[in-house]
Amino acid sequence: MEFQGFPRIHSIFYAVFDIIKGTVVKHQVPEGSITPQSTQDALNESTKTLIDFEAISEYIIPKKQLYKRLVTICTNGYKVMGCPVVLHDHEKYRHFRNEFRFNLCFVFEQDAETSSYEAVVRKLSRVLEGLELECNFLSKDVSSESQTVQNVIEQLFEDLNSYCECQVPIISLDTFNTINLKLFPTYPNPRTVYDYQVPVCTVDVKKMMNPNWDITVQKVASLINGINHVKRIAELANVKGEWARQSMEHMMYYGCIIMTDIFQYSNVYAVKPEITHAPEISVERIYALYCGLKYGLTVKDWIEEQQLSSLHIDERRVISFGVIKGLIYRVHKYPILASTNESETQSNNFPSKDQYHLIINKYTGATIHPDIIPYLDGKHHYDEICTNLECSPQELNEQLGCGQQQFDETQPKHTVNTVYEDDKQNEGQPQWCVQFIFR
């Protein structure tokens, strides 16, 4: 996934609670961006503030339930983010009603993606609290004309906007501290990875690898070739399937790989509506290739129909590119063991384990393998079943009987009869058939 960059900080301000005036802005950058510097500025429209501070002041220094929590307020087209703090000390803060309350806030555009700044705001809150407890850094600033805090927020404003990181030295009479901050991009959690999926690299992972990488990730990453599915990679790397899936999710989080389906010439794909809204494609033939994919047409038939052999292109890459870019989607095949008695429901009459051996394929006369039957609930498609049972689609077709019947895959549902071994002995028993759903 592509990172869009960090949002710009429009203002940083430091507010405290004054026992006479209430919540006041002690320092701000740029000057006059939050509250007017003078009465004249307040009357001058050209020096209008970004926000109406009085309207949100009760959330800047809030009630006790919100202290040490990230508080975000949207007002006047801007987003204000802070983490208020209150410190109690009867002796130290006797001139502040026995407690000291403050908040350092950042101001962004209202629609800005500010998740990367949440950790920064929380950390600054903790650091300033620690500096106050250690050397009265903040309370000394309030009771004097010192510009120490002003200097700090000025450097924060300039460095974070310009370099996405900053290092601010804090020097007092007997201590020396440094505030170190760095912005990191945040990404949404990756989707769950399944054994039957195929990872495809979006960057050259092998060139990125170094000896400091996790050993399992190194093993897994070295076997990603756009062909091997996750379970196969786990077997080749000799690692647990769970570890392989976690490694894939880790690489997906950082945008190193993307997941697609197992490529087979028996696969069926269909065009997504998005392709009609895509910008004009210069290579008209490629556009026509994608539009030629449809329900009921396997990749093998599509290759023949579109005469791909004459184009000298890699059909696997054409399909993978279309899936990754959202131009086409895979039409999966889901087998369902359904009762032929319309008055009976599948959930009430699904065969028990001791009945598995009675179910045979009407067309071959062979018993359906008992390992297959639990997957015939309509929730598992061919890729998943074949991966878990380590069989080919052709073998699964033979087991379920669809290899002996011809049916129209353009229809969403198809039926292949599968009955009990001895119909006479089992007369009155619920009868079953295997149906196929394509979606």
Q: What is the pLDDT of residues 289-305, one digit of tens each?
A: 888 898 888 999 998 88
Reply yes or no on whether the pLDDT at 385 is more than 50. yes
In this prediction, what percent of the chain has a pLDDT beyond 70? 82
Q: Which amino acid is at 147?
A: Q
Sequence-separated (6 or more) residues with CB below 8 Å from residue 236: 223, 228
pLDDT (average), residues 166-188? 82
Q: Would you tell me how many other CB atoms lie within 10 Å of the CB of residue 325? A: 14
What's the pTM?
0.56
Q: How far apart are CA 222 and CA 54, in angstroms?
A: 59
pLDDT (average), residues 241-269? 90
Model confidence pLDDT, tens digit, residues 37-78: 765 555 555 568 899 999 999 999 998 889 999 999 999 999
Higher pLDDT, 382 or 427: 382
Reply yes or no on whether the pLDDT at 407 is more than 80. no
- What is the pLDDT of the chain when averaged over all its residues? 82
Task: Give bridge partners of residue 360 from the DSSP assignment.
Answer: 367
Could you give phi then psi for residue 157, rounded to 5 degrees?
A: -60, -50
Kind and range of the H or E element at 200? strand 198-201
Of the listed ranges 186-195, 269-278, 413-422, the one predicted with least confidence: 413-422
Distances (CA, A) of 160 to 4, 155, 164: 16, 8, 4
Evaluate the omega torsion of the peptide bond into residue 374 and state whether it is cis, within 30 degrees of 0: no
Model confidence pLDDT, tens digit, residues 346-382: 445 677 777 777 777 666 667 788 888 888 888 999 9
Q: What is the pLDDT of residue 254?
A: 84
Q: How far apart are CA 348 and CA 294, in angstroms?
A: 36
Q: What is the pLDDT of residue 119?
A: 92
How is residue 267 written in tokens?
Answer: 């696969």
Query: What sign has the CA pseudo-torsion 384, 390, 394, 396?
Result: negative
Surface-to-core class of residue 77, CB atoms within 10 Å of its CB (0-12 exposed, 13-18 middle, 19+ buried): exposed
Q: What is the pLDDT of residue 418?
A: 45
